[in-house]
Amino acid sequence: MPAPGENLRINGDRLWDSLMDMAKIGPGVAGGNNRQTLTDADGEGRALFKQWCDDAGCTMGVDSMGNMFARREGTDPDALPVYVGSHLDTQPTGGKYDGVLGVLGGLEVIRSLNDMGIKTKHPIVVTNWTNEEGTRFAPAMLASGVFAGVHTQDWAEDRTDAQGKRFGDELDRIGWRGDEPVGARKMHAFFELHIEQGPILEAEGKDIGVVTHGQGLAWIQVTITGKDAHTGSTPMPMRKNAGLGMARILEKVDEIAWSHKPHAVGAAGHIDVYPNSRNVIPGKVVFTVDFRSPDLAVIQDMEKRLYEEGEKIAADMGLTIEFEKVGGFDPVAFDDGCVSAIRGAAERLGYSHMNIISGAGHDACWINQVAPTAMVMCPCVDGLSHNEAEEISKEWATAGADVLLHAVVETAEIVS
Ligand code: GLV
Ligand code: MN
Ligand code: MN
């Protein structure tokens, strides 16, 4: 089977217009998006995506975790489908491209094949995975994790948001629980297009990142309990200040990550202080430490040192401390064949490219456990993501989707 010719391209204007149309749903406050998982806005985004898939002649399947699968038939009824996709949910102050580019880039692959009248032996399926972000219900990549058999569905459905609402109830509420068993689908391969979310490709002047690995992560939720008391009248020696305990631990988190430079990172993005009143010494804090590294031993070391340092700081201050691991996955090595398909596609199309390790978590990291998987990345301006100002150019999006198209048709095999 000859490789597809370099004249095979997606329609960059149409892809861009769809990105902008999707961004109108769940607008943020600063030009980006707040389309958190299982909100009404998520439901609206899903409906628009389904409409577009129907218009492209696809058949939509939805599983009981709300994962969406839009299928374009192949010519061989026995051939397993090639899957593409990512996620439509966003952070509370998210950008317009994180996840969305991978879903709509996948749809654009199908639209372009339709335009060109190209048939493939294997069906092609575009996926929208539920709750990739993990911002409302921890952990991230929740539904792709259930699909890959990493989490049980019961456990996933019992995850609660900050208001105590259950994932399963919210899925029912927005009306996107399907009837397919989760994980029943078998894949020939999975490809995810995503923005880099970091500064490397732009700094190196490359159009395409060929993602060979993904770094692993550990999310550890820490609860420190002290005693609520008056900020004015409580003498310093009598205070049990949980907020101060957290501050001391966060200094350690930073120090621990720096001690494994240059590749390890660590921070707490989720912090709740109780009772959060100006004149009450915080009696309780709950925060989540996010440690990441491409090296499993480094993640394990950072986690161990957090437990040790945290216990010591709390004991010295007369505070109690509890740790709960609320998310984690090991560093990932993507499939050689799929990675080569992406590199070959970039070569053929004349796009500059380099190998890259993903700093963020992606659904592809879990799907890699059940199917040959790889990712293609395009640059984003100043490496900024998880920020409403996240930006990419139409040219970058087009190059990424062109590479996706070529990797997919080579894997799904063109039938002339
Ligand atoms: C997902 O967006 C993550 O990397 O946390
Ligand atoms: Mn993402
Ligand atoms: Mn994200």
Give the model's pLDDT for residue 78: 96
Token pair listed for 381: 């301006």
Q: Are 245 and 226 in contact (CB under 8 A)?
A: yes
Q: What is the mean pLDDT of residues 11-19?
A: 98
Contact 94 CB / ligand 1 (< 6 Å): no
Residue 98 CA: nearest ligand 1 atom is 2
Contact 182 CB / ligand 1 (< 6 Å): no
Question: 64-96: per-residue pLDDT in tens?
Answer: 999 999 999 999 999 999 999 999 999 999 999
Distance CA 126, CA 145 (A): 17
Task: Considering every ligand atom shown, identify the ligand nearest to the alpha carbon of residue 214 and give its number.
Answer: 1
Length of the chain: 416
Where do we find the tokens 């700094």? 203
Distance CA 289, CA 270 (A): 8
Question: 235-258: per-residue pLDDT in tens?
Answer: 999 999 999 999 999 999 999 999
Give the model's pLDDT for residue 416: 73
Where do we find the tokens 């958190």? 36
CA of 385 relative to ligand 2 center, distance in Å: 9
DSSP H or E stretch at residue 121: none
Residue 99 CA: nearest ligand 1 atom is 2
Task: Considering every ligand atom shown, identify the ligand nearest to the alpha carbon of residue 139 and give its number.
Answer: 1
Q: What is the mean pLDDT of residues 279-297?
A: 98
pLDDT at 368 over 80: yes
Contact 361 CB / ligand 1 (< 6 Å): yes
Predicted TM-score (pTM) of this structure: 0.94
| Phi then psi dihedrals of residue 14, to 5 deg | -65, -40
Concatenating the DSSP letter of every residue in 45-103 gives HHHHHHHHHHHTTPEEEEBTT--EEEEE--S-TTSPPEEEEE-----TTB-SSTTHHHH
Which of 93, 290, 362 should be mutated for ligand 1, with most atoms under 8 A from CB? 362
Exposure string of 11-47, with b = 16+ CB inside 10 Å and e = fewer, is ebeebbebbeebbebbebeeebbbbbbbbebbbbbbe
Question: 300-345: per-residue pLDDT in tens?
Answer: 999 999 999 999 999 999 999 999 999 999 999 999 999 999 999 9
Give the model's pLDDT for residue 7: 84
Contact 360 CB / ligand 1 (< 6 Å): yes
pLDDT at 268 over 60: yes
pLDDT at 1 over 70: no
pLDDT at 2 over 60: no
The gap between the terminal CA atoms of the chain, to the nearest Å, is 10
CA of 325 relative to ligand 2 center, distance in Å: 21
- Sign of torsion over alpha carbons 76, 78, 82, 87: positive
Confidence of residue 6 (pLDDT cuts 50, 70, 90): confident
- Which of 18-22, 176-180, 225-229, 412-416 has the weakest average pLDDT? 412-416
Other beta carbons within 10 Å of 126: 28
Cα–Cα distance list, 127 to 1, 114, 367 (Å): 27, 18, 12
In the 8-state DSSP scheme, what is residue 2? P
Contact 266 CB / ligand 1 (< 6 Å): no
Q: Are 245 and 321 in contact (CB under 8 A)?
A: yes
Hey, what amino acid is at 213?
H
% pLDDT > 70, the chain: 99
Identify the burial level of 309 via C-beta atoms within 10 angstroms of its C-beta, where 0-12 means exposed, 13-18 middle and 19 or more buried: middle
Contact 364 CB / ligand 1 (< 6 Å): no
Task: Considering every ligand atom shown, identify the ligand nearest to the alpha carbon of residue 99 and give its number.
Answer: 2
CA of 91 relative to ligand 1 center, distance in Å: 9
Confidence of residue 172 (pLDDT cuts 50, 70, 90): very high
Contact 217 CB / ligand 1 (< 6 Å): no
Per the prediction, the chain carries an average pLDDT of 97
